[in-house]
Structure 1
């Protein structure tokens, strides 16, 4: 029997690659997107593509209902993936901007997950896979808002895994480092909406570092991998009899995990400040 998988954030990048790669492995993939136009494009590629916008609770309910109508009320797996960035110094980050990114990167994930859990409880099995980040393990200058959502996701997911341990529902984190995607370009509107960098006391640092990185691509990041690297770990998380609680993707994530195990916070800070 073909297994079913709902993936969010499938318009580009990790979600788009995962939808194609998991379909190639025989899964019936529901490739959801935030924008109706992207859903139409994916339907043209042969996918079922419900519209799910994490900031719109009605779309979460209707999108999941569309999936369950198609499957007869079951769902084998959920891959929470859609997210955006909001670069900028924490001192320049308005609280409204922080609320906005949490709606997309955290609260919407929680709402969809809560609606999926009763389905999986009733059928006695399921996989919930959360696409976190190396920035859920260690933080980095200019990435405070995004890191805050991923640190929150890590804690919530660890708790959920413990609470569902005897249900047949496996809860897994995937933690990519630099992976080819549009997240940097997609973060620009959020940066321009919320960060008044010209009035910042560290304006010179914006001009010397962050603005160049945002608006002038210098090619792939060091150690950057294609989205298929995440798909490989996702496949194991979904198909292994006993999936791991965490899957690292890219060298920087392995380094970050090692640093957290063996070094003090002060030592990690010294290392990270070399690359800001």
Structure 2
């Protein structure tokens, strides 16, 4: 029987490509998405799918119960992917917006992981793959909430890896840089919801932010498609010794080096010029 893999955030982008490709590769994919319409689209495309809202613990628990029934309690892989980016200067960010960012990008992942781990520990096998970000390695202006959630995820995952070292459960981080997806449209909605553009001293910068988020075509020349994350995830699932980190896109590899070799102020100067 093929191994069962549970994936979050499969409505579009990286999650959707992973679900489709892993199914083609012979895995039993259990795809989840936050909205019912997206779940229906996944079902219509031939994927086994269920609704899971990472901001709702009851929804997570129901999805886990479904996944364990589907896999007969033998879930091999968990790919935590569902997330969004809250844009805006830290000084303009309501505390509730930061809570919501962490609820979806970290706390929901934690609740899901805790529910999945007992079965993996019982079987003494499994893979947990965390889709992180370049912004879990270095920070960029006006992305403080997202930076913080991904920095926290990196530390969380490193700790989990240490605590599972004496088991056969392997933990990997996939760290994409710029990847084309609907991430901008989701970020735009949250930006408009929580940031008071007209009253902020960052008003002029926010006008540029709005233009960037409304532009469906990314300006970054190093942007890759969401399919770029498939090969690292396949390696993390199949390799006898999965890597702890997989960098995706040139900027991720570049800044992983620069943060090790450059003084902090030099690196800050480079990051301040980044879009």
TM-score interval for Structure 1 and Structure 2 normalised by the shorter chain: over 0.9
Q: Once the 2 structures are TM-superposed, how far is the Cα of residue 74 of structure 1 from its aligned partner? A: 1.1
SS of the equivalent of 1:174 reads: strand
Contact 2:172 2:245 in 1 (8 A): yes
Q: What is the CA–CA distance in structure 2 between the aligned matches of 1:68 and 1:220, rounded to whole Å?
A: 42
Give TM-score, length-normalised by structure 1.
0.97
Aligned length: 275
Q: Does the alignment pair 1:74 with 2:103?
A: no
Specify the alignment match of 1:165 in structure 2. 165
Q: What is the CA–CA distance in structure 2 between the aligned matches of 1:268 and 1:173, rounded to whole Å?
A: 23
Give TM-score, length-normalised by structure 2.
0.98
Q: What is the CA–CA distance in structure 2 between the aligned matches of 1:124 and 1:161, rounded to whole Å?
A: 14
Q: What is the CA–CA distance in structure 2 between the aligned matches of 1:239 and 1:131, rounded to whole Å?
A: 17
Q: Once the 2 structures are TM-superposed, how far is the Cα of residue 261 of structure 1 from its aligned partner? A: 1.4
SS of the equivalent of 2:75 reads: coil
Specify the alignment match of 1:30 in structure 2. 30
Q: Once the 2 structures are TM-superposed, how far is the Cα of residue 182 of structure 1 from its aligned partner? A: 0.3
CA deviations on 1:182-241 (whole Å, 9 max, x unpaired) are 01111112111110011001212222x212212234545220111111011100011000
Specify the alignment match of 2:255 in structure 1. 256
Specify the alignment match of 2:203 in structure 1. 203
Q: What is the CA–CA distance in structure 2 between the aligned matches of 1:218 and 1:244, rounded to whole Å?
A: 32
Specify the alignment match of 1:237 in structure 2. 236
SS of the equivalent of 2:50 reads: coil
Specify the alignment match of 1:114 in structure 2. 114
Specify the alignment match of 2:53 in structure 1. 53
Question: What is the RMSD of the two structures over their aligned residues, measured on CA atoms?
Answer: 1.0
Gaps of 5+ in 1: none
SS of the equivalent of 1:76 reads: strand
Specify the alignment match of 1:88 in structure 2. 88
CA 1:218–1:35: 2 relative to 1, 3 Å: closer
SS of the equivalent of 2:48 reads: coil
Q: What is the CA–CA distance in structure 2 between the aligned matches of 1:9 and 1:212, rounded to whole Å?
A: 26
Gaps of 5+ in 2: none
Contact 1:180 1:220 in 2 (8 A): no
Contact 2:85 2:186 in 1 (8 A): yes
Q: What is the CA–CA distance in structure 2 between the aligned matches of 1:189 and 1:274, rounded to whole Å?
A: 25
Q: What is the CA–CA distance in structure 1 between the aligned matches of 2:259 and 2:4, rounded to whole Å?
A: 36
Q: Does the alignment pair 1:17 with 2:17?
A: yes
Alignment of 1:101-140 (within 5 A): 101-140=101-140
Contact 1:177 1:252 in 2 (8 A): yes
